[in-house]
Chain A
């Protein structure tokens, strides 16, 4: 399984390390994973994202790299657990609900840049 999926902590570490391959080490910031405490990241894509970070970090006119993670499909479905706890913190009742969240698509992150290389497979062809 180690080969198939990457720990969240390893993913973050790998992104920072990927920016050390150029003549000058570039700083990397990661946005969009702040709410995740534990997760397994797809390894195949982890390698490709590392490759993209290195590609950009090796460019002379690039000073820093930002990795932004947003939902590929801009509506995500979430289970909501409404928990009632007693005075000792023991969970006494839970109501399960669902909520669908609508997100902006990638255009909001383009910053006016037109040099965009899209490596993503079409939806359904992943």
Chain B
């Protein structure tokens, strides 16, 4: 059975603190293994810290700012020294059943209804089924696979990797990624969430579109600024954001008011729900240049122009370098 991996070590001079492994639910099933067995088995291939994510490519998930995207992590693991901690090493994500009521409660899910009503939705775990009280995290030894498998850490060296879901989806789909440092705009944007049940970070609806989970003023931009990241090509997030806007989603109303979402809406000249951007969120946006005046400067570009100019229009990532996934992700064989 194959698995994909990004090795621990240096990548473009940035520290990748743990080895990252991607496996696939359908291939695990074909191999006659349970997902837990697959995580325990692949863990034995490594002596160092490893984050292990199992994907269902046919399912969907959401980004923190509310974009619905194809492909979901359905189970995550952490391993170290070839072991997986019995209590804290594996955590499944919860399937969110489709219902009109769910879409009413979480209006960004109109994308689910309009684009993929037949697909299963996974985000974070069911809090009742996990032993660690707050974080959606798996831990074994040094390895921590956190925030529903999008922030990987070595807890001894304390080095961390921000690996948003769109970056991971590029990796499993042989696309393009940027390796860099997270920077101030993404540091702020991570806090501009939508409210979700069993979300990637928060177990229950907590911070709605237009609000900030960070609520820390000018400090928000510094929280993740220097942490290495692997994110998708900006063209990809431009396409996904445009698709969400075309589903009727509006920044600060259905979507989080992250700098990325706001940048795409501004470039297109599309609606932004200014009145719903809370003062605490605006203060963080101001700190990275996303002022009200900036938001009102509509560029009225076409969708094609926004995608073509995504690198210029969408902020985020410092010292970034684009890679074809084949340059950084390696396919390996796991003997069953």
Contacts and interface: CB of A to CB of B under 8 A. Distances in A.
A77 B131 CA distance: 13
A102 B135 contact: yes
Contacts of A122: 87
Contacts of B155: 102-104, 108
B42 interface: no
A73 B133 contact: yes
A123 B87 contact: yes
Given A77-B133, A107-B80, A102 B87 contact: no
Contacts of B156: 104, 108
Interface string A91-112: 0000000001011111110100
Given A74-B88, A102-B153, A123-B87, A108 B142 contact: yes
B144 interface: yes
B140 interface: yes
A8 B106 CA distance: 50
A75 interface: yes
Interface string B69-89: 000000000001101010110
Contacts of A103: 139, 155
Contact of B135 (A75, A104, A110): A75
From A103, A105, A108, name the one whose CB has the most chain B CB atoms within 10 angstroms.
A105
B308 interface: no
A122 B131 CA distance: 11
B83 A107 contact: yes
B334 interface: no
Given A74-B132, A77-B134, A123-B131, A102 B146 contact: yes
Contact of A107 (B133, B134, B140, B153): B140
A111 to B, nearest CB: 10
B92 interface: no
From A73, A103, A107, name the one whose CB has the most chain B CB atoms within 10 angstroms.
A107
Nearest to A74: B139
Contact of A75 (B81, B133, B153): B133
B134 A105 contact: no
A105 B88 contact: yes
A75 to B, nearest CB: 5
A107 B135 contact: no
Given A100-B135, A102-B153, A107 B146 contact: no
Interface string B81-111: 1010101100000000000000000000000
Contacts of B140: 105, 107
A105 B131 CA distance: 13
A73 B85 CA distance: 11
Contacts of B133: 73, 75, 77, 100
A77 B134 CA distance: 8
From B87, B88, B144, name the one whose CB has the most chain A CB atoms within 10 angstroms.
B87
15 contacts: A73-B132, A73-B133, A74-B132, A75-B134, A75-B139, A77-B133, A100-B133, A100-B134, A102-B137, A106-B141, A107-B85, A107-B140, A107-B141, A108-B156, A110-B81
Given A74-B139, A107-B140, 8 more contacts: A73-B131, A73-B133, A77-B133, A102-B139, A104-B144, A104-B155, A106-B141, A124-B131
Interface of B: 80-81, 83, 85, 87-88, 131-135, 137, 139-142, 144, 146, 153, 155-156
